Chains A and B, each alone.
Chain A
Amino acid sequence: MTKESSGLKVQYELRPHKQVERRMLVDAFQLLSLAGFPIRDYRYTGMGSFYFVDFILFHKLLGIGRMLSIERSQKHFSRVRFNRPFDSVEIHMGEASEVIPNLDQGLKHILWLDYDYPLDREILEDVRSAANLLPVGSVLLVTVDVEPPGGPEDGPKEWREHFEAEASTYLPSAPDPGYFSESNLPRVNINLLDRAIRAGAAPRTGIEFTPLFNFLYADKNQMISLGGMLTTADERNRIEASLLPKAIYFRGDFTSSPYQIKVPNLTRRERLYLDSAMPCPDGWIPPDFKLEPEEIVSYREIYRFFPAYAELLL
């Protein structure tokens, strides 16, 4: 796995699962706005590559004006500059670790550490710093690739060695034999990030990290996105009283299973048909064509967030 930008591997706009995640985040921020969090005045810091999809969404749908994109690849500098969607988007060429200590302590932030490669020591340090330094009310999101690290011949033994080399401080002292099995790797990653966040937030008096999001999805590689807010009792009360905990994608702790984004493959005609029945009652299936009941359940969960793609000849 290289740290080559995923912007080169995939057309960003055409990653439906990632897009559903972004739209769910927009939804969550709207609910937080209703609960009195001034999201419009937050500063968004992300890793926009040269597509800036999240920047465009957050600016247009949430009204966020202050924005900073971190780009680590010198090679893409000119393309990143060229594709900057709004004048208010600043660019930092360099590492997240250079940005995190300098985040304005007088503002609230949405910081999305949106890595497209597997967890390593640098990511864990970024996450820990961010949890330590972000002002109260700020939202921290971290995305990492949770595919098995290393080559195709590697197995649980090599994966264990990888995580021990990169993250030994945050690993359980005596993991179960199956802990590093392939199916458990998303859990290994979630627990590592959780512990790094807690290590960063622990010394802060009266401030906790409150989990809000835990997404699992795959456009190509399996990814997880963990997120939450730095809170005092006041923020926690406001979140609890808001509509956010009722949202299907909400995760108030990192120990339960992540919310798995599943995007069924549907034609445009099928979607229009299904939409006219949404939100459907439990057990409903379309009378005119056959779909599995689970697919209907998945669709009912995500249809509001599901992007529509069409060819545009410009």
Chain B
Amino acid sequence: MPEFANAYPTKHFFFEMFTRDISLEDCVLDLIDNSLDSLIRHRAINLPAEVLKPLRDRVDVAKLATVDVFCSDKEVRVRDNCGGIPVDFAKDDLFTFGHREGFVGGLLGAYGVGLKRAIFKIGNKFEMKSFTNGKGFRAYLEDVKGWSTKDQTLDEWKIPMEPMERGGQGLEEDTEIIIRDLHETVKTRMKSGTFIDELYKDVAQTYSLFLGRYARVTVNDKTVEPKVIPIGESEQVKPAKDEFEEHGVKVTLIVGFASPPRKAEDAGWYLLCNGRVVVPADKTDLTIWVSPTVFHDKYRPFLGLAFFQAEDPLALPWTTTKRAINRESLVFQSAVNRMRTLARPVLRTLSDFYPSEPLEKPGGRAIAENVKVTDVREVAAKPSTTFKVEPIRRQLPSTTRIRYDAPKEDVERVRTHLRKPHMSASEVGRYTFDHFVKKECPK
């Protein structure tokens, strides 16, 4: 009869380790994901199928569901009217560490860690209130740290909940999470003065395809405007598109030129899972930038988008922080190969437009400057195609300029050898080049 060694989880692990791998901003985004998942459940939005569909009707922004985020050195509060959380769902699933197998809950929350991790990371006191269909609950921990040290029985892995009723008119279906008694680390960042701006930018970028379509998000009372991914198009330039489905994930790839004005920091690949931007503007070997094709200033107009969509969020290649990609994901490995293929004509065109010789001004550059921003959803709705630039070949010059330094002594030797002491240096260069062409590589 074997003896058994303990292999139980400890709260300490979740509390101390788990919170180190994620930034404060991403923790707040996890709370926003929770709200958006409520909305998706409540309105039965088929996100994987819909998020890339072009907008056909004008959206009345005033009628959109709202997620209000408030952050200060006193508290972090996220309040939404996205439909609320059913009591049973809260009881059985919302607070478990990780979801049970076969769980169907959200399309943005995949792992069942975001909410808990955010609470642990941010503060020592939390309260959550939610109402839906006139029924509600309040869940809370007055002392998160104290709770996390009690670890003897499974009962100590429970969070107190009390029912709340709300009657009468103006019934809202809403949820509010308040985290107080913030950790010193969090307070310091809040006081730094830049956190709110960083958060605003992250929200604008991450939910670019959600804002103004499914929901409105405010950060400290300021409505976040989506940061549009500026894929460009013109009469002469058409972005490329490819799509395939593998391992339960639908992948849509788009590459082309960004519309000006362009910043190098915005260039690169954008990787999105169920419409949420996971990695913005990648210029690393995670995607296609592997030697000898490393990112270079001449690729500044390069813009690529890879959309991964699945009904099972666990099939998507994101990591638990939703800020990075699991490189080993099979669907991601397939996608990278296709991304390389799709991107090549764009990279080659840019190399032709922006050659290493700064003296040249090929007409192609004007083509790159003249693209206008277009909605990625419109591009995604079109059939697959390769990157097209017309009429690139005619625009390219048939000559290139060669400039180099040569030791004066060697130039003099050529002059002496040719018995032309007054030959100019550029004539020597011209002569020696012509000589090589004639003797070594004749037509």
Contacts and interface: CB of A to CB of B under 8 A. Distances in A.
Interface stretch (B29-37, B144-152, B225-233, B338-346): B338-346
A102 interface: yes
Contact of B334 (A2, A98, A100, A203): A203
A55 B334 CA distance: 32
A74 interface: yes
B160 to A, nearest CB: 47
Given A98-B345, A203-B334, A169 B290 contact: yes
B291 A128 contact: no
Nearest to B332: A203
A36 B338 CA distance: 30
Contact of A2 (B293, B345, B441): B441
A167 to B, nearest CB: 8
Contacts of A101: 242, 338, 341-342, 386
B246 interface: yes
B330 interface: yes
Nearest to A100: B341
B291 A203 contact: no
B292 A121 contact: yes
A133 B330 contact: no
B330 A205 contact: yes
The secondary-structure label for the interface of chain B is helix
A168 B292 contact: yes
A125 interface: yes
A97 interface: yes
B299 to A, nearest CB: 15
B337 interface: yes
Interface string B234-249: 0000000010001100
Nearest to A2: B441
B343 to A, nearest CB: 10
Contact of B344 (A74, A97, A168): A97
Contacts of B290: 169
A200 interface: yes
A100 to B, nearest CB: 7
B124 interface: no
A278 interface: no
Contacts of A253: none
B341 A203 contact: no
Interface string A115-157: 0000001100100110011000000000000000000000000
B393 A129 contact: no
Given A97-B345, A101-B242, A101-B342, A128 B393 contact: no
Interface string A182-212: 0000000000000000011011110000000
A129 B292 contact: no
A166 interface: yes
B19 interface: no
Contacts of A133: 338, 341
Interface in A45-101: 74, 95, 97-98, 100-101
A107 interface: no
Contact of B337 (A97, A128, A169): A128
A165 interface: yes
B386 A98 contact: yes
Contacts of B443: 4, 8
Contacts of B345: 95, 97-98
A128 B340 contact: yes
B337 A203 contact: yes
B98 to A, nearest CB: 27
Interface string B333-356: 110111011101100100000000
How large, as a class, is the contact surface on chain A?
Answer: 20 to 34
A132 B288 CA distance: 15
A121 B293 contact: yes
Contact of B341 (A129, A165, A205): A129
Contacts of B342: 101
A97 B255 CA distance: 15
A132 B334 CA distance: 8
A98 B392 CA distance: 14
B386 A102 contact: yes
B86 to A, nearest CB: 38
Contacts of A98: 345, 386
Nearest to A120: B292
Nearest to B385: A102
A144 B377 CA distance: 41
B432 to A, nearest CB: 14
Contact of A129 (B330, B340, B348): B340
Nearest to A105: B244
Contacts of B242: 101
Interface string B242-284: 1000110000000000000000000000000000000000000
Nearest to B291: A168
Contacts of A2: 441
A204 B292 contact: no
B330 A203 contact: yes
Nearest to B341: A129
Contacts of B247: 205
A133 B386 CA distance: 14
Contacts of B336: 203
Nearest to A1: B441
Given A97-B344, A98-B345, A168-B291, A200 B246 contact: no
B292 A132 contact: no
A121 B294 CA distance: 12
Contacts of B333: 202-203
Nearest to B293: A121
Q: Determine which residue in B247, B290, B293, B337 has the highest number of CB atoms from chain A within 10 A of its CB, and name it.
A: B337
Given A98-B386, A101-B386, A128-B340, A165 B246 contact: no
Contact of A204 (B334, B340, B341, B344): B334
A92 B340 CA distance: 21
B246 A132 contact: no
Interface in A9-46: none
Contacts of A165: 292
A219 to B, nearest CB: 19
Given A97-B345, A205-B246, A205-B330, A166 B337 contact: no
A122 B344 CA distance: 9
Interface of B: 242, 246-247, 290-293, 330, 333-334, 336-338, 340-342, 344-345, 348, 386, 393, 441, 443
- Shortest 7 CB-CB contacts between residues of A and residues of B: A203-B333, A129-B341, A203-B334, A132-B337, A168-B291, A97-B344, A121-B292
7 contacts: A95-B348, A98-B386, A101-B242, A129-B344, A167-B292, A168-B292, A203-B336
Given A74-B393, A132-B338, A199-B337, 15 more contacts: A97-B341, A98-B345, A101-B341, A101-B386, A121-B292, A125-B340, A128-B337, A128-B341, A129-B337, A166-B292, A167-B292, A169-B291, A203-B337, A205-B247, A205-B330
